[in-house]
Structure 1
Amino acid sequence: MTQKTEQIEADVLGVLNEVEEEKRKERRKQVAVYNHVRRFLLFVMVCIFCYCVYSLAEVYLDYQRSNNTYKEISNMFYVDVPKAEQQTDESGATIQAGSISGSQEWVWNFEAMKKMNEDAIGWISLPGTQLNYPILQGVDNDEYLHTTVTGEYALAGAIFADYRNSLALEGNYSILYGHNMNNGSMFGVLRKMKEQAFQEEHPVFDVYIGEQHYRYYVYSLYIVEPYETADSPYQFQYEVLDSEEKEKEYEAFLQSTIDRSMYKVQTYTKEITVDDKILTLSTCSGSGENKKRMIVHLVRGEEVID
């Protein structure tokens, strides 16, 4: 009995050892699979990280290229302003004789801008901000969506007039488009106008149309849905007022632009009439496929004689 018992115990122990060995093998397989999966996931994560870094670098470089492009274009309009050299005669009286190098002044040159891009129709700037760009007008509203004034691809694109504005900003009602860039370039600065204090610090735009230079004053701003509706700011039938009925419609439309303003603009208090030249700035607001639009309405003020 003792030998049989020992044999049985040995057999049972052998079976248990085999079972344990199988379990160890299974665990080793699981660990191996886990390590493979972990290494694969790590590889995927590294790839995703590298792609994100690459994408961010591409966006950053794209922003830099656009900024440099527009800065170089703006710089070409700086000219030296001679400073009178003062001298005294024998009696000690002050006289002027010749000139010495003075400061530089930004002087608009429509002809030079037109030579660079025949679609150029003007320039817009908001003093004290980085908004300082040429205005283009293409054959449609896609041409300069992601194309700079020099014809290169860029996320920032260009500031452009709606192709339906046939009078190149000399009509009663015109629209300009520009991207709301994350770095504040193009029309990115407009989002700051949601704060009334910022708007009051920057109430006047300088707009060059052809050879002329005008001051444009902010009088209303608000957010709208991306699609066009009957009361949307994307109206083109008022560029030319060729009937009394259209004048009445336009008068009501102008009043609606005032009523919709997110706050009462205090920096321009004159009455807006159908005789005014209105320039509407449109840019994205928010994110997503159906992101809304921010609208800033400007009214033409005085012409500046440079």
Structure 2
Amino acid sequence: MKNIVLKIVFLIALCVFLYSGFNLGYTYYKYWKVDHDNDVLVKEVVKTEKKHKASNVRTIDFNYLRRLNKDIVGWLYIKDVADYPILKGQSNDTYLHHNYKKAYSFAGSIFLDEISNKNFQDGNTIIYGHNMNNGSMFGQLKKFSEQSFMNNHPIAYIYLPDGSVNVYDIFSFNRLDATDTNYYRNNIEYGSFIKKLVSASLANRQVSTKKAPLIMLSTCATHDTNWRSVVFARLSKTIHKG
């Protein structure tokens, strides 16, 4: 009888071990798949030309991207932080858990809020991405809470389908409630909005008082609350094709 009990206990322990191992392996695979798919896409569409010793010039093959998915409206690049296509679906649910191929992905995509215009000319364009544990999507945004990191990563780029590039000055990191319509809106009064943001920021840089379109990069601060980690940047210039 004792041997039978021991065998049952062993079998149960073995099943638990195998199940836990499967879940761990599957989780690892899902994260690997997200990184792998984006690495493949970057190699396909991002071209970097060496212009001179001090800088590189990046171009994005939007002809290829639009053949993949016409919902791709731009490409976001922040050094060491993000290098992804930006999508706009019919609603905020469209790309919450779907990738640029429209296939299911637990990491979803980087996407515009349904109230934001795809020309990035709103007073405040809202862009979402998941806070992934491996740092993918918007998993690196929280680093902007460190003043030194913001100082060393002051620029965001959005490449557009017409070949132009919007260049943004990153100026504020905030923790905000996702239900706060004072911030999650596209029409703003620039001066008072900027003043309120900077005064409540965890890290900030000097920002111009001259009105210009903003982008608002938003991700979950934690997975079980309404708090969001949010990075704001102001359009400083647009580089036109040619």
Q: Can you list the C-alpha shifts for 1:239-283, whole angstroms capped at 9, x where unaligned?
A: xxxxxxx74xx54233211211113x23xx23344x310000000
* Offset of residue 38 of structure 1: 5.0
Structure with greater proportional helix content: 1
SS of 1:147 mapped into structure 2: coil
The answer to whether residue 88 in structure 2 is matched with residue 148 in structure 1 is no
- Aligned partners of 1:198 and 1:38: how far apart in 2? 56
Q: 1:222 aligns with which of 162, 166, 174?
A: 174
Q: How does 1:136-285 map to 2 (within 5 A)?
A: 136-211=87-162, 212-226=164-178, 228-231=179-182, 233-236=183-186, 238=187, 247=189, 250-263=190-203, 265-266=204-205, 269-273=206-210, 275-285=211-221
Residue 132 in structure 1 maps to residue 68 in structure 2: no
The answer (yes or no) to whether the contact 1:78–1:105 under 8 Å persists in 2 is: no
RCO higher in structure (CA 8 A, sep ≥6): 2
Partner in structure 2 of residue 77 of structure 1:
45
The 3 A distance-change label for structure 1 pair 270 and 254 is closer
Q: Are 1:169 and 1:209, in contact at CA under 8 Å, matched by a contact in 2?
A: no
Tell me how far 1:57 sits from its aligned partner. 1.3
Superposition TM-score, scaled by structure 2 size: 0.86
Structure 2 segments unaligned to the other structure (5+ residues): none
Partner Cα separation in structure 2 for residue 251 and residue 130 of structure 1:
28
Count, aligned residues: 236
Q: Distance in 1 between matches of 2:94 and 2:155?
A: 28
Asked if 1:294 is matched to 2:229, the reply is yes
Structure 1: unaligned runs, 5 residues or longer: 1-31, 84-103, 239-245
**Larger Rg: 1 or 2?**
1
Q: Which has the higher strand share?
A: 2
Cα RMSD over matched residues?
A: 2.5
Q: What is the distance in 2 between the residues matched to 1:45 and 1:217?
A: 55
Using a 3 Å threshold, how does the CA distance of structure 1 residues 291 and 58 change in structure 2: closer, same or farther?
A: farther
Question: Hey, what's the Cα distance between the residues in 1 that align with 2:173 and 2:221?
Answer: 12
Closer/same/farther in 2, CA of residues 222 and 39 from structure 1, 3 Å limit: farther
**Identity over aligned pairs, percent:** 27
1:39 is displaced (CA, Å) by 4.2
Q: TM-score, normalised by structure 1?
A: 0.69
